[in-house]
Amino acid sequence: MVERRLGALPASAEFLRRLDVAGIIDELCPIRDVAHVTHGQVIEVLVANRLAVPTSMVRVGDWARVWAVEEVFGVDPGFLNDDRLARALDAIAPQLEQS
């Protein structure tokens, strides 16, 4: 049996889904067909990470392995390395500048 922390992840996920955060980001920042997760999915997990443990933004994949990220968000923690987070943030940066 594997135990993972749940905390407020379900509540965070529900609010992010109601706001359609992933859908909006994915519409503005499409990804290649070979990607395992979308930019929107990565940003949703990153927002949940910031809400759950507001510390430095490194080792988010390690945090996701301890917390129930895969169960709640459907994102494999192995896809949340620092490079993937940076690509998602780089993808949304130009969109933020246009607002």
Say if residue 2's pLDDT is above 80. Answer: no
The token duo for 94 is: 């130009």
Per-residue pLDDT of 63-93, as tens digits, reads 999 999 999 999 999 999 999 999 999 999 9
Confidence of residue 99 (pLDDT cuts 50, 70, 90): low
